[in-house]
Amino acid sequence: MSLTLHGIGVSKGIAIGKVHIINHDPVEVSEYCLPKHHLDDEVVRFENAVSLACQQLLHIRERIPKDTTVDVAGFLDAHLLMLEDNLLKKVPIDLIYEHQCNAEWALKMQCDNIVQLFDKMDDPYLSARKHDVVQVVTRIQRILRGYTDISYEPAQAYLANTIVLANDLSPAETVFMQHHNILAFATEYGGTTSHTAILARSLGIPAIVGLRHARPYIQPNDTVIVDGEKGVIFVAPDERSLRYYRMRQREEKRYRAALSKIKTSPTMTRDGTPVTLHVNIEFPEDMTAVKRVGGEGIGLYRTEFLFMNRQQPPEEEEHFDAYSRVIRSLKGGLVTIRTLDLGADKQFVDSRSHEGSSATNPALGLRAIRLCLKDLKLFKPQLRAILRASALGQVRMMIPMVCGLQELAQVTKIIEEIRTELHSKSLPFDPAMPFGVMVEVPAMALCTDLVTPYVDFLSIGTNDLIQYALAVDRSDEAVNYLYDPLHPAVLRLIKMSIDGATQAGKPISMCGEMASDSRYVRLLLGLGLRSFSVNPEAYLEIKQTIINSKMDGLARLAKKILKTSSQADITGLLEAINA
């Protein structure tokens, strides 16, 4: 029977294919006693589960794509070693005999013991290793429970050309899967500007989030249609729907082909106002997409993705290598490297040792520059690498989530020390490398005039600016209805930032997702924005909108919108702007 489910469309496009379900649900461990004569069999059951866990990990290890940039093998090796250790291999067997209990219970007891031991350790690195133990134990538990889709990793071999359905996907998992030709994502949780949604857009993969309670209605291998624009998923569609959506796919392809004709046209409005249009990237590999659309500069390079799916932070050389690849590929174009923005939904194993993930409000906690200033071992190698990379081309350094001048002063001091160090080692760098900040905490927008004397440029990060201004978690679909780029408070903060920077003669851009949405381009031009940085998939559409726009009247309409209180009136005025 056909079925239609509604969620939030976060990445446009149509996908038709078979579903692959990723099951993250925690395993419920049953606890029961066994007669003595069953204990040997129980031990065999446990040993088989451990051996299957090893086979699964080896299977995954053999299939790591050659071009994977992250140290997935190291991560798997660590788990394999744990499976070989008597703490997990032998002690649970002793517990089965001692307590005359089932394997799951014995394993749980032993896991709790190990976690307690780790918790007592002062060394944050060692204490963070407990997460690995829990992951390995979960793998065995799931096998004992008879789950076949034990986690996303072993499923990799089956991911190609499927539509992935999960309760939620972390940005790290999304990265993990990007090599596997996924047709689309659909998750039960997640918000419009969660990093998973941003990645899906960046990869050009249709995606829907917030499909609450979808999994009971969809079985593995069901054929589905994903409409990433409308946020609708059709389960077991009839022939008519399939024909209609195949036709839409062909139209989409034709539209994209037509857009590519403006690839080399200058980016300026119909009445001749030049506009800067840059691209947002997450990986050096994204440069292929940048080239495809004719992008000439990077307005936001989210470097934190280099930290995902690995055990150790990247060293200076790895940072340097990644930045060099982007710079070389752009052949003289501008590259804005943002220092790492880990924390909140983008966790790195090590940052857990700072309790970032368990904080009551991770998005308000130790994230981005706050984490960096607390953990200089994480930060300094990156700063050194960015400075060294500045000798190779036009590089700018941008700091995320700054909320005060104090933080800026601290960063500037560290950069100064690194410059002296590089100089003493005769390592080349650009002494005039521009230094800028993201305006993504309302405090920054309100204090633009105080900040501009200390920076060379600014970039508005609307994803967080909206989240913090409206107190709406950007990853939480339950409050997604409140996440509104057109809220008067958001528009006023944007206007204040643009005016503040312009008056101080400092360039300001927008790299948040609002800039990638063609509905807002004219409004933003009317508010005085002349520089956009957008995801590669949106690039040509935004360029087309700019080329089709006339500045005449836009400032007047934008001013009117700023003074309008009702949402309906604002929407009406926006329609007038876009007409």
Binding of ligand PEP by 398 (CB under 6 A): no
Q: Which stretch binds ligand PEP (CB under 6 A): 27-35, 137-145, 178-186, 455-463?
A: 455-463
Q: Which stretch binds Mg ion (CB under 5 A): 92-100, 209-217, 383-391, 461-469?
A: 461-469
> Closer to ligand PEP at the Cβ: 105 or 457?
457
Q: Quick one: how many helices (H) and strands (E) in the chain?
A: 23, 16
Which residue among the candidates 111, 372, 403, 511 is catalytic per the annotation?
511
Residue among 13, 12, 547 nearest 262 (CA):
547
> Closer to ligand PEP at the Cβ: 302 or 506?
302
Which 3 state secondary structure label does DSSP give 544? Answer: helix
* Among ligand PEP, Mg ion, none, partner that 183 touches (CB below 5 to 8 angstroms by kind): none
**Which string of x and - marks every residue 430-449 that binds Mg ion (by CB under 5 A)?**
----------x---------
Which residues touch 143 (CB under 8 Å, ≥6 apart)?
Answer: 49, 52, 53, 150
* Among Mg ion, ligand PEP, none, partner that 511 touches (CB below 5 to 8 angstroms by kind): ligand PEP
CA 276 to CA 293: how far, in whole Å? 15
Which 3 state secondary structure label does DSSP give 441? Answer: coil
Query: Do 145 and 108 contact (CB within 8 A), yes or no?
Result: no
Please report the DSSP string for 134-155 in residue order. Answer: HHHHHHHHHHHTT-S--STTGG
Total Cβ atoms within 10 A of residue 191:
25
> Closer to ligand PEP at the Cβ: 141 or 196?
196
Binding of ligand PEP by 440 (CB under 6 A): yes
Which residue among the candidates 180, 195, 278, 319 is catalytic per the annotation?
195
Query: Do 402 and 438 contact (CB within 8 A), yes or no?
Result: yes
Query: Bridge-partner residues for 457, per DSSP?
Result: 436
Is residue 511 part of the annotated active site? The answer reads yes
Total binding residues for ligand PEP by CB under 6 A?
11
Residues 469-488 that bind ligand PEP (CB under 6 A): none
Please report the DSSP string for 180-194 in residue order. Answer: G---EEEESS--TTS
Query: Do 318 and 477 contact (CB within 8 A), yes or no?
Result: no
> Closer to ligand PEP at the Cβ: 393 or 461?
461
Which 3 state secondary structure label does DSSP give 267? Answer: coil
Tell me the C-alpha to C-alpha distance, in Å, between residue 378 and each of 135, 192, 321, 381, 540.
24, 29, 17, 7, 36
CA 19 to CA 3: how far, in whole Å? 14
Q: Cβ 464 to Mg ion, closest distance in Å? A: 4
| Residue whose Cβ sits closest to Mg ion | 464
> Closer to Mg ion at the Cβ: 109 or 490?
490
> Closer to Mg ion at the Cβ: 234 or 520?
520
**Which string of x and - marks every residue 390-429 that binds Mg ion (by CB under 5 A)?**
----------------------------------------
Out of 42, 153, 173, 341, the residue judged to bind ligand PEP by CB under 6 A: 341
Binding of ligand PEP by 345 (CB under 6 A): no
Out of 188, 375, 464, 517, the residue judged to bind ligand PEP by CB under 6 A: 464
Q: Which stretch binds ligand PEP (CB under 6 A): 204-212, 241-249, 266-274, 460-468?
A: 460-468
* Among Mg ion, ligand PEP, none, partner that 302 touches (CB below 5 to 8 angstroms by kind): ligand PEP
Residue among 412, 472, 8, 467 nearest 210 (CA):
8
Query: Do 537 and 204 contact (CB within 8 A), yes or no?
Result: yes
* Among Mg ion, ligand PEP, none, partner that 42 touches (CB below 5 to 8 angstroms by kind): none
CA 170 to CA 349: how far, in whole Å? 13
Q: Which stretch binds ligand PEP (CB under 6 A): 121-129, 173-181, 266-274, 458-466?
A: 458-466
> Closer to Mg ion at the Cβ: 214 or 411?
411
Tell me the torsion sign for CA atoms 265, 269, 272, 274.
negative
Binding of Mg ion by 171 (CB under 5 A): no
Query: Bridge-partner residues for 534, per DSSP?
Result: 279
Backbone angles phi, psi at 125, to 5 degrees: -65, -50
State which amino acid sits at residue 119. Answer: D
Cα 2 to the center of its chain, rounded Å: 33
Binding of Mg ion by 461 (CB under 5 A): yes
> Closer to ligand PEP at the Cβ: 140 or 386?
386
* Among ligand PEP, Mg ion, none, partner that 462 touches (CB below 5 to 8 angstroms by kind): ligand PEP
Q: Which stretch binds Mg ion (CB under 5 A): 94-102, 276-284, 459-467, 546-554?
A: 459-467
Residues 499-528 that bind ligand PEP (CB under 6 A): 511-512
Residue 317: its H or E element: helix 316-330
Binding of ligand PEP by 306 (CB under 6 A): no
Q: Which stretch binds Mg ion (CB under 5 A): 207-215, 245-253, 359-367, 455-463?
A: 455-463
> Helix H segments across 336-404?
368-374, 376-389
> Closer to ligand PEP at the Cβ: 202 or 545?
202
Is residue 195 part of the annotated active site? The answer reads yes
Which residues touch 235 (CB under 8 Å, ≥6 apart)?
Answer: 2, 3, 4, 5, 217, 218, 222, 224
Total Cβ atoms within 10 A of residue 447:
18
Binding of ligand PEP by 461 (CB under 6 A): yes
Residue 579, token pair as written in the block: 């007409």
Using CB under 6 A as the criterion, which residues of the chain lie in contact with ligand PEP when the complex forms? 198, 300, 302, 341, 440, 461-464, 511-512
Catalytic center residues: 195, 511
Using CB under 5 A as the criterion, which residues of the chain lie in contact with Mg ion when the complex forms? 440, 461, 464
